[in-house]
Structure 1
Amino acid sequence: MEKDKKNAWKDYLLKSGLPLEFEVKKFLDSKGCISKVDYTYLRNNEHDQSTEFSYDIDSSYIKGDHFMDLMIECKYRHESTKWVFLPESYRSIDGIYETDFMHKSDHFNDGNRKKIDFPVSFGPLCDKGIELTSDGANPKTITQAISQLSYAMVNKIISGMDHQSNELLRTNFKNTIFYSIPVIITTAKLYRIKEDIDIQTIKSAQDISEISTNEPYLVIKTKPGSDLYNYNRLKFTDFIMQNGEHNLKERLNSYSKDIWFLTSNISEHNCPSSIVVIHHDPQNTGLDALFSFLHRVMEPDQEIFDILAENERESEEFFAKFERDHPGVNLWAEMNEENQTNDTGEN
């Protein structure tokens, strides 16, 4: 008992999260990132009182004209802790694409870059999850981490817009593409429930590995709710009023020339749309994989172009068969019209 008391300081220190933050920051430094701890912002709490919130590490990674903001929340958990998530699919009815978690912002960019429909994902897509510990289930940990990052995102997006549109700042940043990348890093093990699992299978299982896959990293779908949407809209309204609607519309170079529609669409669908979750290990394997993925998005390799070519070939074959089976119906035109109506401009 006396020995346990002497070693208790280790548990307290680890549970504080400081050693985890320190290890993550050291890795970011090794990648050439500019990092600071505790990014803070103000929003009203559940009692409608203005309160300071924060996330753990704010890190900027710059590669050419690409300015990536890594918004990182660290969650230290006992090694026996499990985070279990429901499975989701990319490009389903909600329209989450493989690079949506990067939250690309080039709405005031002067450049005319060709957008690549990147066909490879960083990790499997998931829906909501829950934390399982030796003491039971904890429904708050994951949702709190998501909330801390989600409410901070609109400030990051507005900062990028301001750098692209402001008369003084755009001299240096008018061709810069900004990305807001929310990341949760945890020592908990990550599990994604298999897609063919039902309640009876879970009841019959002896181990979680029977009903799920252990993942080193994954992506969570996080469409804003009504409260976050309203919060985002207020922030964008302040931005528009401070910078002048006419001035912003003159420099707007996006899928819509209506600044109010654009910001409303972002508020509802892309602020944020998805968040990366990484299991932390001593080698920072997950973070290293994230940087490799980001590089691949910035500079696609031949394999990516080969996949795109194969996808295009399969798509052409599908439409050709459809036209043979349904003469007189122009499916291309109908889909393009639907895409223009639903386009969020982030894919």
Structure 2
Amino acid sequence: MSKDNKWKDYLLKSGIPLEYEIKEFLDKKMCVSNFEYTYFRKDKSNEITEFSYDIDSSYIKPPHFVDLMIECKYRHESTKWLFLPESYGGPDEIEFTSFMHPNDHFNKDGHFRFSNFPFPLAPLCSKGIELTSQGQNPKTITQAISQLSYAMAERVTNGMYHQIDEVLSKSFNGTIFHNIPIIVTTAELYRIKENSSIDSIKQSGDIEEIATKENCLVIKNKAGVDLENYNLLIFQNFVNEFGKEKLQKKLNSFNKDLDFVLSVIAKHYCPTCFVVVHYSKENNGLENFFSYIDRVIKPDKEIFELIEKNYEESQERLKKLKEKMDEKRKTKS
């Protein structure tokens, strides 16, 4: 690239063109979007500092209000993001729709019904690394996750505010808010194949021998102590503003105790997962993302049939397990 054309490279690396294209795409989806959502928290030096993520967008499909928290990461097309594989379910109870973070804790009516959605948006992953022609960069992905993570609690309380405020609740009580943190990147996305080993990586000639290329991934998140404490601080400010007694009366959640509910959200659901999407003109992962969201909030006949089928199969598995356990008891006796 000649010296006179370096401005193109600098402009692209700034991320502004990517942000603009993503916002244009969101506009076509009838989202209400704004550039840069800002918030304040203490930095590593313990100084109050302004942080932000790139695009705050609302996809409104009553009674669902889907808040898209988007951080854009422009990378050269040769850059690869590689993630470790994870499985849905298990001890962390990550469900296919966990990344949607439904917020209906103060609704009189209207609760999220599809935690048993029959298939995932994308494969589940955990830790990731950025690989470039210059080497590996461990900070890019973690920084994006951090920027979105610390913005989450404020967005959650914003939804709660709309559910309990005397004026706003007339319009929003019954609204299910969703906060979905999304990283949009031009980097190629890869998920390491399960059962891969150090030896298989050493012997591979190409990354696709040890990893599958994806256009979207769901990344499992576990709040560290600092994030959990920060979330609790935001929630405590919310309680102080509205009063514990008032909030306790309006609470309609998975538990009747306000402190317990907020502590669980702070530790496990703020956030639970992230969505990482590859973006290019040829392969825009956001298209599949919106198609999936539409089917979750307005399930078609096929979805209901799959839910019923999955339920029947799970009941059959439980029945067989019970029969085996009964046989073992009889054998022992």
TM band (smaller chain):
over 0.9
Counterpart residue identity of residue 247, structure 2 = L
Give the secondary-structure state (helix, strand or coil) at the position aligned to 1:7.
Answer: helix
Give the secondary-structure state (helix, strand or coil) at the position aligned to 2:120.
Answer: coil
Counterpart residue identity of residue 201, structure 1 = S
Give the secondary-structure state (helix, strand or coil) at the position aligned to 1:98.
Answer: coil
Q: Displacement, 1:231?
A: 0.3
Say if 1:233 and 1:267, in contact at 8 Å, map to a contact too.
yes
Give the TM-score, by structure 2 length: 0.95
Q: What are the Cα deviations for residues 38-77 of structure 1, in whole angstroms up to 9, with x where unaligned?
A: 1000000001100000000000110121111100000000
CA gap of 1:276–1:151, structure 2 versus 1, over 3 A, is same
Give the secondary-structure state (helix, strand or coil) at the position aligned to 1:326.
Answer: helix
Counterpart residue identity of residue 166, structure 1 = D
Aligned to 1:22: 20
109-118 or 295-304: bigger deviation: 109-118
Alignment of 1:131-210 (within 5 A): 131-210=130-209
Q: Displacement, 1:112?
A: 4.7
For residues 275 and 112 of structure 2, the distance between their equivalents in structure 1, rounded to whole angstroms, comes to 25
Query: Which sections of structure 1, spanning at least 5 residues, go unmatched?
Result: 330-347
For residues 172 and 206 of structure 2, the distance between their equivalents in structure 1, rounded to whole angstroms, comes to 52
Q: What are the Cα deviations for residues 154-205 of structure 1, in whole angstroms up to 9, with x where unaligned?
A: 0000000011011221111111110001100001000000002111000101
Give the secondary-structure state (helix, strand or coil) at the position aligned to 2:81.
Answer: strand
For residues 113 and 262 of structure 1, the distance between their equivalents in structure 2, rounded to whole angstroms, comes to 16
Say if 1:187 and 1:281, in contact at 8 Å, map to a contact too.
yes
Give the secondary-structure state (helix, strand or coil) at the position aligned to 2:68.
Answer: strand
Aligned to 1:115: 113
Say if 1:83 and 1:131, in contact at 8 Å, map to a contact too.
yes
For residues 324 and 263 of structure 2, the distance between their equivalents in structure 1, rounded to whole angstroms, comes to 40
Alignment of 1:72-151 (within 5 A): 72-113=70-111, 115-116=113-114, 117-151=116-150
For residues 301 and 75 of structure 1, the distance between their equivalents in structure 2, rounded to whole angstroms, comes to 34
Give the secondary-structure state (helix, strand or coil) at the position aligned to 2:2.
Answer: helix
Q: Stretches of 4+ moved more than 6 A in 1?
A: none
Alignment of 1:225-236 (within 5 A): 225-236=224-235
Q: What are the Cα deviations for residues 71-116 of structure 1, in whole angstroms up to 9, with x where unaligned?
A: 0000000111000000001112211111111110001111154723
Say if 2:81 and 2:189, in contact at 8 Å, map to a contact too.
yes
Aligned to 2:281: 282
Say if 1:24 and 1:284, in contact at 8 Å, map to a contact too.
no
Aligned to 1:343: none
Aligned to 2:296: 297
Give the secondary-structure state (helix, strand or coil) at the position aligned to 2:322.
Answer: helix
Counterpart residue identity of residue 227, structure 1 = D
Give the secondary-structure state (helix, strand or coil) at the position aligned to 1:109.
Answer: coil
318-327 or 245-254: bigger deviation: 318-327
Alignment of 1:36-75 (within 5 A): 36-75=34-73
Say if 1:27 and 1:284, in contact at 8 Å, map to a contact too.
no
Q: Displacement, 1:285?
A: 2.3
CA gap of 1:284–1:204, structure 2 versus 1, over 3 A, is closer
Q: Displacement, 1:283?
A: 5.2
165-174 or 68-77: bigger deviation: 165-174
Give the secondary-structure state (helix, strand or coil) at the position aligned to 2:87.
Answer: coil
Say if 1:233 and 1:263, in contact at 8 Å, map to a contact too.
yes
Say if 2:71 and 2:184, in contact at 8 Å, map to a contact too.
yes
For residues 189 and 91 of structure 1, the distance between their equivalents in structure 2, rounded to whole angstroms, comes to 26
Aligned to 1:337: none
Paired residue total: 327
Say if 2:104 and 2:112, in contact at 8 Å, map to a contact too.
no
310-319 or 48-57: bigger deviation: 310-319
For residues 78 and 101 of structure 2, the distance between their equivalents in structure 1, rounded to whole angstroms, comes to 33
Counterpart residue identity of residue 226, structure 1 = V
Q: Displacement, 1:321?
A: 2.2
Counterpart residue identity of residue 43, structure 1 = R
Aligned to 1:271: 270
267-276 or 297-306: bigger deviation: 297-306
The alignment yields a C-alpha RMSD, in angstroms, of: 1.5
Give the secondary-structure state (helix, strand or coil) at the position aligned to 2:202.
Answer: helix
Aligned to 2:29: 31
Aligned to 2:310: 311
Q: Displacement, 1:318?
A: 2.0
Sequence identity percentage: 55
CA gap of 1:131–1:215, structure 2 versus 1, over 3 A, is same
For residues 30 and 124 of structure 1, the distance between their equivalents in structure 2, rounded to whole angstroms, comes to 27
Give the TM-score, by structure 1 length: 0.92
Q: Displacement, 1:327?
A: 4.2
